Amino acid sequence: MTPPVTPRSGIDRLKPWIIERLHPLAEGGAGVLRSDFDHNPELSPYAPGEGRSPAAVLVALVERPEGLSLILTRRADTLTRHSGQIAFPGGRCDPGETSWETALREAEEEIGLDRRFVDLAGLSDPYQTVTGFLVTPVVAFVRPGFTLTAAEAEVAEVFETPFSFVMDPANHERRSKDGSDGRRRTYLAMPYGERLIWGATAAMLHALYERLFVGQGVIPQTLPRASACH
């Protein structure tokens, strides 16, 4: 009997598994709509899909000999929004762009990733942010041999994280904190060494994990831990 595919499987089995379970490269908002307010629906001032600017991020999976790894960035401390946070390369769509064109362009501009090394795989579920964007996560496989150069005005650091780590629900936490209005908010977080992947980035990764592995008889869906952040 063939063992099930897991996030720790070899690339030869994991790559076709991922491609088969993604949405195809087509515009139109396919998939379950995710949101910053999934854990706090009572706090959302928006109807689903209302008043959102289109944006896209690149979920770049590097094909390393030891397994897949994920390219992430730490945003520059000088940015007015989300400074210092862990993020995917990505940004607002220009007029006439598809989501994958935006993701590739932004990755080139932010971290210098040459698209010649990138093979597009498909789309994960769309995500609404509290800051006014409807984000399409574009999943791609990246062949080794590239070099990266961070745009200092936007990116403080570029690093890789094992795909098996971000796809392991044991590393997915629900945390909570008080907002500036005094109301308690719940969010997802993934502590990775001295770094903390949280907010929309963690939520999009958890959504990708659910799309790829939940319901496949592979891994449980439950989040095992909860902690408070004050």
Q: Which residues pair with 141 in a beta bridge?
A: 61, 119
**H-helix or E-strand containing 72?**
strand 67-75
Q: pLDDT above 90 covers what percent of the chain? A: 59
Q: What is the domain partition of the chain in residue ranges? A: 11-39+54-222
Report strand pairing: 118-123 vs 90-92.
Answer: unpaired
Sign of CA dihedral 136, 139, 101, 114: positive
Residue 182 reports pLDDT greater than 50? yes
Q: In this predicted structure, what is the pLDDT of residue 92? A: 93
Assess whether pLDDT exceeds 70 at residue 47. no
**pLDDT tens digits along 101-116:** 999 999 999 999 999 9
DSSP structural state of residue 92? E
Tokens representing 65 are 């000999």
Lowest mean pLDDT among 103-117, 122-136, 166-180, 207-221: 207-221
Nearest to 11 by CA among 61, 62, 67: 67
Of residues 12 and 29, more confidence is placed in 12
**Which of 28, 33, 31 is CA-nearest to residue 46?**
33
How does pLDDT run across 191-224, given as a tens digit for each residue? Answer: 999 999 999 999 999 999 999 998 654 444 443 3
Spatial CA neighbour of 55 closest among 185, 228, 200: 200
Give the pLDDT score at 52.
76
Through-space distance between the first and last CA atoms of the chain, rounded to whole angstroms: 49
Task: Report residue 133: phi and psi, to 5°.
Answer: -120, 150
Average pLDDT over the chain reads 84
Provide the whole-model pTM.
0.88
Domain 11-39+54-222 superfamily per CATH: Nucleoside Triphosphate Pyrophosphohydrolase (3.90.79.10)
Is residue 17 scored above 50 in pLDDT?
yes
Lowest mean pLDDT among 9-18, 148-157, 209-218: 209-218
